[in-house]
Amino acid sequence: MSDPETQMVPNPERRNLLIFAIALIGAGISGVMGYAIFGYAVGQALKADGTSGDGNWIGIGKLDDFSEGVPTQKNITVTTHDGWVNHRSEEAVWVVRNTDKVTVFTATCPHLGCKVNWQEQAAQSCFYCPCHASSFNVNGTLIKGAAARGLDTLDWRRQADGMIQVNFKRFKAIVAEKVELL
């Protein structure tokens, strides 16, 4: 049988090991939390844009890729970030060239979000939405149908190498005003 007084004497090696283990766990928790906070902060900074911090700018081609006055569809991949999660979606825009400028429309119908198509017609060519028969002229103005407003335009810019980029955004459906979704 061991002496009770011997059992009461603290073992310095054991105590140091315990302190080291607690410090290690603390450092681990701090590291994970710091990484999470950093990731969240970066995610928030990129959330609205997905690219460079000043917008969701995506290249769609050079001016000569677009015929004068004839809408051209461009498919793009949009990446957005939400915290740890990256979202990728396939979207479409319509580009109408006017000399050295372009007008870019989102292909999303402002009624309920179906995709519009350009239809060449003898009487009046138009953007047409097959879901509820809304139609829009080449300027995006509503001709008729269930939509409450014309097609939504997107900002664009030309880079030094001539590449045209579009700042992709989404807008609220149904309403008559163009309201950007965040």
116 DSSP 8-state letter: P
Distance of closest approach, residue 141 Cβ to ligand FES, in angstroms: 15
Residues whose CB is less than 8 angstroms from the CB of residue 93 and which lie 6 or more positions away in sequence, other chains included: 60, 73, 74, 76, 104, 105, 106, 107, 154, 166, 168
Which stretch, 51-59, 76-84, 125-133, 136-144, contacts ligand FES (CB under 6 A)?
125-133
- Binding residue for ligand FES, selected from 95, 129, 138, 166, defined by CB under 6 A: 129
Kindly state whether residue 126 participates in binding ligand FES, applying the rule CB under 6 A. Answer: no
Kindly state whether residue 148 participates in binding ligand FES, applying the rule CB under 6 A. Answer: no
Q: Which of these, 166, 146, 140, lies nearest to 57 by C-alpha position?
A: 166
- Counting beta carbons within 10 angstroms of the beta carbon of residue 163, is it exposed (0 to 12), middle (13 to 18) or buried (19 or more)? middle
Kindly state whether residue 143 participates in binding ligand FES, applying the rule CB under 6 A. Answer: no
Does residue 66 contact residue 138 with C-beta atoms inside 8 Å? no
Residue count, binding to ligand FES (CB under 6 A): 12
Does residue 80 contact residue 50 with C-beta atoms inside 8 Å? yes
| Pick 18 or 133: Cβ nearer ligand FES | 133
Contacts of ligand FES in 80-119 (CB under 6 A): 109, 111-114
Does residue 48 contact residue 167 with C-beta atoms inside 8 Å? no
Q: Which of these, 21, 41, 45, lies nearest to 33 by C-alpha position?
A: 41
Kindly state whether residue 74 participates in binding ligand FES, applying the rule CB under 6 A. Answer: no
- Binding residue for ligand FES, selected from 76, 146, 148, 163, defined by CB under 6 A: 146
| Pick 80 or 134: Cβ nearer ligand FES | 134
Which stretch, 22-30, 33-41, 145-153, 164-172, contacts ligand FES (CB under 6 A)?
145-153
- Which chain residues interact with ligand FES by CB under 6 A? 109, 111-114, 129, 131-132, 134, 145-147
